[in-house]
Amino acid sequence: MVLIQESDQKYLREEFSKSLKSNIELIVFTAEDGQCKYCKETVQLAEEVSSLTGKIKLTIYDFNKDAEKARELGVDKYPTTIVCREGSIHGRVRYAGIPSGYEFGSLIEDIKMVSDSEVKISSKAMEIISKVENPVKIKVFVTPTCPYCPRAVETAHKFAFTNEKVSAEMIETSEFNKEAQDAGVTAVPHIVINDDIKFDGARPDEEFAEYVLEASMNSAQN
């Protein structure tokens, strides 16, 4: 059974034809240990997306067999999907868990952003993010049925794409329930920055950026 319906496939083909400029790579970490809830579906989704255009290359790794590559890219859970420019793998824009439901739209927006390098955030937020000089990791906890989560995910991924010191990861709470509990998630989107700053809700670009900068400055003091 296909995951992307024919009408959506047609739309995405046209959208990719108009929007994609540089070739990109989808990297999926999966596993065959019987513990992964949606690994098969995550791979299928990536295969279906990549089949819609010649500008997307799909690479699939086994988390256990390709442990060295997972360490290289900082992948510590599966399934994980990374969106990056082909030939410049950095792994800063990523999804832990299947990017389904509302988050499928986030994945498509990330593909377009990485391909054409157009980052749609306010100039003020861009100015703030440019000041981040110390490593920052943003975790955005979501559920597929949350209509407000994509905005938080996309904003975090824009920051990561803009500044190499920033990485951003969507985490699907039902797939990684223990991590969500440890992070104190009671509502989504729930944002954790460097395990230091936490807040709920999709905040405006500038406010979100200020939190990221604060986390960066805090890490410099520790």
pLDDT of residue 222: 66
Mean pLDDT, the chain, rounded, equals 95
**Distance of alpha carbon 95 from alpha carbon 88, whole angstroms:** 18
The reported pTM is 0.95
CATH code matching the domain that covers 1-118, chosen among 3.40.30.10, 3.40.718.10, 3.40.50.300, 3.30.465.10: 3.40.30.10
Tens-digit pLDDT profile for residues 48-104:
999 999 999 999 999 999 999 999 999 999 999 999 998 876 789 999 999 999 999
Both tokens assigned to 94: 């990523």
**Cβ-based neighbour number of residue 17 at 10 Å:** 11
End-to-end CA distance of the chain: 51
> Which parts of 20-148 fold into alpha helices (H)?
39-50, 67-73, 102-116, 123-129
CATH 3.40.30.10 residue ranges for the chain: 1-118, 119-222
pLDDT of residue 34: 82
Which regions in the chain score pLDDT beneath 70?
A: 89, 222
**Distance of alpha carbon 183 from alpha carbon 186, whole angstroms:** 9
Q: Identify which of 222, 199, 221 has the alpha carbon closest to the alpha carbon of residue 212.
A: 199
CATH code matching the domain that covers 119-222, chosen among 3.20.110.20, 1.10.443.10, 3.40.50.720, 3.40.30.10: 3.40.30.10
